């Protein structure tokens, strides 16, 4: 009995040490891994589009669904960049127009903080050394450009190599049973991630459309741009939802005289988020994720600490992936149980749908 307890304790200690070491390694290799993860994220989206097209257009050539999916994804991301570009100038102009009111608000706050507090935006900027941050900004822009290029390169290679996965699976898994087990695990992960992306996209569109309508009724400037930001922020759990509620209300406070419009907008955005999060989300999500809400928050902090904004953006899909893999091994299943919402990590993805004509990388016969 004592030996069994000691063995279990040693095994659990090794799992915890492995998690810590793996987290440190992932943080150390973030410059290499984050572009690859974003490329995998895009590849999942492209593959989903491709299978939907193949399912509805069976008479098209073999190559057409993949090419069409790449074109659709490129158009969508190009449209996002276009929306940001055409609204950026108007947004900056609005900030310049509201600068005097912002100065008055800062002066009122500084009067309560003490005589040495800055009393305007200009004073805040004067206390900063722009040259101190110029190198960091330039490096950030350079890193963004290089990472975007790496993401596209990784995506191209992933799409080109997807047809070789089946042959590799035959070499990796020598028996029919092991290949079917690997196929089952792959389909669970893929189906869960695709359902997560689909749910977040649909709910993000609903929240953005409802928020845009409220902003237009109130008269908030750049309502479409704010609705677009609300849609994008919806992909970041918890923090994104909070920012999508608070930021428009703060700018309404700058734009309008008094607190009424900002308070109405804040209340409306809170109501929209509450209805979507407590009525629509449970109905759509079901058991597709099976993650405890506290785990969602902790995963946001964990992956954000390792990979920054990219980690926050991918925190939920990554945690789902980890939970599914940990549930397959006896020594780590207890971690998957703790991560799950109902204590049964094997139930993840049962509510999903997998099209019968979808090729999988692992089920091929030798």
Instruction: Render pLDDT for 232-277 as a digit per residue (tens, 0 to 9).
Output: 888 887 778 888 898 888 888 878 877 888 899 999 999 998 888 7
On whether both 78 and 118 belong to a single domain, the answer is no
Across the chain, mean pLDDT equals 75
pLDDT above 50 for 293: yes
Task: Let me know if residue 177 belongs to a domain.
Answer: no
Structure tokens at 98: 């509201």
pLDDT above 90 for 211: yes
On whether both 59 and 102 belong to a single domain, the answer is no
- The pLDDT of residue 272 is 92
pLDDT above 50 for 74: yes
- The pLDDT of residue 335 is 81
**Torsion, Cα of 176, 191, 352, 23 (10° steps):** 110
Q: What is the mean pLDDT of residues 176-191?
A: 80
Q: What is the mean pLDDT of residues 138-144?
A: 52
On whether both 86 and 102 belong to a single domain, the answer is no
DSSP state of 340: B
Total domains present in the chain: 2
Q: Give the pLDDT band (50/70/90) at residue 101.
A: low
List the domain range (segments joined by +) for residue 138. 29-93+130-172
Tell me, rounded to whole angstroms, the distance of Cα 120 from its chain centroid.
36
Q: What is the mean pLDDT of residues 186-205?
A: 83
Q: Give the pLDDT band (50/70/90) at residue 89.
A: low
pTM over 0.75: no
Cβ-based neighbours of 135, under 8 Å, separated by 6 or more: none
Q: Give the pLDDT band (50/70/90) at residue 359.
A: very low
**Torsion, Cα of 144, 38, 319, 69 (10° steps):** 150
Task: Let me know if residue 163 belongs to a domain.
Answer: yes
Task: Let me know if residue 78 belongs to a domain.
Answer: yes
On whether both 111 and 71 belong to a single domain, the answer is no
């Amino acid at each position: 009995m004592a030996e069994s307890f000691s063995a279990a304790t040693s095994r659990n200690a090794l799992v915890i040490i492995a998690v810590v070491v793996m987290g440190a390694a992932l943080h150390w290799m973030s410059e290499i891994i984050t572009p690859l993860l974003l490329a995998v994220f895009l590849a999942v989206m492209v593959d989903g589009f491709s299978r939907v097209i193949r399912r509805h257009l069976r008479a098209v050539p073999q190559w057409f669904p993949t090419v069409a999916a790449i074109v659709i994804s490129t158009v969508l991301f190009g449209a996002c960049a276009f929306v940001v570009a055409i609204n950026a100038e108007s947004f900056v102009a609005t900030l310049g127009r509201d600068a005097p009111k912002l100065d008055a608000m800062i002066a009122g706050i500084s009067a309560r903080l003490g005589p040495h507090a800055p009393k305007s935006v200009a004073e805040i900027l004067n206390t900063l050394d722009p040259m101190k941050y110029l190198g960091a900004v330039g490096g950030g822009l350079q890193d963004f450009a290089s990472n975007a290029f790496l993401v596209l390169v990784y995506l191209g290679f992933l799409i080109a190599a997807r047809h070789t996965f089946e042959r590799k699976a035959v070499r990796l898994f020598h028996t029919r049973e092991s290949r079917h087990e690997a196929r089952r695990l792959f389909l669970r992960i893929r189906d869960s991630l695709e359902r997560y992306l689909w749910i977040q996209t649909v709910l993000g569109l609903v929240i953005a459309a409802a928020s845009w309508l409220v902003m237009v009724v109130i008269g908030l400037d750049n309502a479409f741009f704010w609705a677009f930001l609300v849609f994008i922020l919806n992909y970041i759990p918890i923090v994104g939802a909070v920012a999508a509620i608070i930021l428009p209300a703060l700018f309404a406070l700058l734009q309008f005289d008094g607190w009424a419009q900002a308070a109405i907008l804040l209340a409306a955005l809170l109501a929209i988020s509450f209805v979507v999060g407590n009525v629509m989300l449970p109905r759509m999500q079901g058991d597709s994720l099976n993650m405890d809400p506290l785990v969602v928050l902790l995963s946001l902090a964990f992956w954000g600490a390792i990979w920054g904004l990219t980690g926050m953006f991918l925190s939920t899909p990554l945690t789902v992936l980890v939970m599914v893999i940990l549930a397959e091994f006896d020594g780590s299943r207890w971690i998957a149980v703790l991560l799950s919402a109902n204590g049964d990590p094997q139930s993840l993805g049962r509510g999903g749908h997998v099209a019968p004509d979808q090729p999988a990388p692992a089920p091929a016969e030798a």
